[in-house]
């Protein structure tokens, strides 16, 4: 019988391709470290015995290793380390860069819960239903302090910060229920700030979505909010409008009054809504009021999702971190 409770296995299951890649690197690194540790420790013992002082007046003499031996013990470890570096970098990039066709979900952390918004408009707390075999990108922020989103079976983890967006992606390949943890100490109930990711067959997922209360999609809700907050009065997309057109801007480069530039991503849109004067687009006046305190994190996401939808088809998607 295992001493480890079933829910907390010594080594978590692997439910994504990235999890297998990361474990392969982990075990390769562990193997290399074990081989070299045993080799070095073994040689120390062997040399200590083989070359020990055998008479009290014996004096050691200097030995010079032949050049070929120096080369062998330099080049072989160098090759192994460079191989591990290249392999690790490759897997790191795969794990960090979401595929272009990833479906975007929004996550808001707060003391002490996780809130999820599906593209379909469905919302959940502490439970996230996802289809298997589909790359899922989470765009995450926090309402208060730093949290961290972690699912051990997926081998991915990302800090969730107040005031900005970070992202994380995964593609689950096994139907199942996976524990979700907050991995950054965030207050007295940090240890209770968890939940479950429920990975389902795509057909079951569609059925689950349908069984929720009637929903409008994120983009639709965003469009309504855009009108409610009268954003559309200035961002008309016409030449005489007071604010720049928002059509096809996502993923493009904008130039500011001071001549500097930036790529329009979620973090830039967020800043422009909450602090419009921070970086003013060239040719426009500082007329826009701040929406700080007037839209909460979940509403911000709706507005950003709607503005992104105005650029659909350009294939642009970036959280810029």
Beta-carbon-side half-sphere exposure of residue 250 (alpha carbons within 13 Å): 23
Q: Which helix (H) or strand (E) holds 148?
A: strand 147-151
Smallest gap from residue 177 Cβ to ligand CUA (A): 20
Smallest gap from residue 165 Cβ to ligand CUA (A): 17
Helices (H) and strands (E) in the chain, counts: 6, 12
106, two tokens = 């929004």
CA 56, CA 42: separation in Å to the nearest integer? 26
Work out whether 182 is an interface residue with ligand CUA (CB under 6 A): yes
Work out whether 197 is an interface residue with ligand CUA (CB under 6 A): no
Tell me the pairing of strands 113-117 and 176-182.
unpaired
Smallest gap from residue 154 Cβ to ligand CUA (A): 18
Work out whether 115 is an interface residue with ligand CUA (CB under 6 A): no
CB of 265 or CB of 297, closer to ligand CUA: 297
Residue among 18, 151, 186, 300 that touches ligand CUA (CB under 6 A): 186
The residue whose two tokens read 């994504």 is 16
The residue whose two tokens read 């692997």 is 14
CB of 147 or CB of 308, closer to ligand CUA: 147
CA 136, CA 154: separation in Å to the nearest integer? 12
Nearest to 121 by CA among 213, 227, 229: 213
Residue among 171, 184, 297, 305 that touches ligand CUA (CB under 6 A): 184
CB of 138 or CB of 273, closer to ligand CUA: 138
Smallest gap from residue 150 Cβ to ligand CUA (A): 10
Residue among 45, 177, 185, 224 that touches ligand CUA (CB under 6 A): 185
The size of the interface with ligand CUA (CB under 6 A), counted in residues, is 9
Smallest gap from residue 147 Cβ to ligand CUA (A): 3
Q: Which helix (H) or strand (E) holds 269?
A: helix 266-274
Stretch that binds ligand CUA, among 177-185, 215-223, 248-256, 258-266 (CB under 6 A): 177-185
Which parts of 144-163 interact with ligand CUA (CB under 6 A)?
147
Residue among 190, 235, 270, 308 that touches ligand CUA (CB under 6 A): 190
Question: For helices 17-50 and 67-96, what crossing angle results, to 10°?
Answer: 160
3-class DSSP state of 25: helix
CA 156, CA 220: separation in Å to the nearest integer? 31
CB of 101 or CB of 144, closer to ligand CUA: 144
Stretch that binds ligand CUA, among 53-61, 125-133, 180-188, 265-273 (CB under 6 A): 180-188
| Mask for 118-137, x = binds ligand CUA (CB under 6 A) | --------------------
312, two tokens = 């659909």
The residue whose two tokens read 């849109």 is 269
């Amino acid at each position: 019988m295992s001493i480890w409770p079933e829910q907390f296995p010594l080594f978590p299951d692997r439910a994504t391709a990235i999890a297998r890649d990361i474990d392969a690197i982990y075990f390769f690194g562990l193997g290399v470290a074990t081989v070299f540790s045993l080799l070095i420790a073994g040689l120390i013992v062997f040399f200590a015995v083989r070359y020990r002082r055998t008479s009290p007046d014996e004096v050691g003499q200097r030995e010079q290793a032949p050049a070929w031996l120096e080369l062998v013990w330099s080049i072989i470890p160098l090759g192994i380390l460079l191989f591990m570096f290249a392999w690790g970098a490759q897997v790191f990039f795969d794990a960090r860069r979401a595929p272009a066709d990833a479906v975007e979900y929004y996550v808001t952390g707060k003391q002490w819960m996780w809130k999820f918004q599906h593209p379909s408009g469905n919302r959940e707390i502490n439970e996230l239903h996802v289809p298997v075999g589909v790359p899922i990108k989470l765009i995450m922020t926090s309402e208060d302090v730093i949290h961290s989103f972690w699912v051990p079976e997926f081998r991915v983890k990302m800090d969730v910060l107040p005031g900005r967006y970070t992202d994380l992606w995964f593609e689950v390949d096994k139907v199942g229920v996976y524990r979700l943890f907050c991995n950054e100490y965030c207050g007295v109930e940090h240890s209770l700030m968890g939940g479950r990711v429920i990975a389902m067959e795509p057909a079951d997922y569609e059925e689950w979505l349908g069984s929720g209360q009637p929903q409008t999609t994120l983009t639709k809700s965003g469009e309504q909010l855009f009108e409610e907050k009268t954003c559309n009065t200035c961002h008309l997309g016409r030449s005489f409008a007071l604010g720049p057109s928002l059509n096809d801007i996502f993923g493009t480069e904008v130039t500011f009054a001071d001549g500097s530039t930036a790529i329009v991503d979620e973090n830039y849109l967020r800043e422009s809504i909450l602090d419009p004067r921070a970086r003013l687009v060239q040719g426009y006046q500082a007329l826009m009021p701040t929406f700080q305190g007037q839209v909460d994190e979940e509403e911000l996401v709706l507005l950003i999702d709607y503005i992104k939808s105005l650029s659909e088809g350009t294939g642009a998607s970036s959280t810029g971190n």
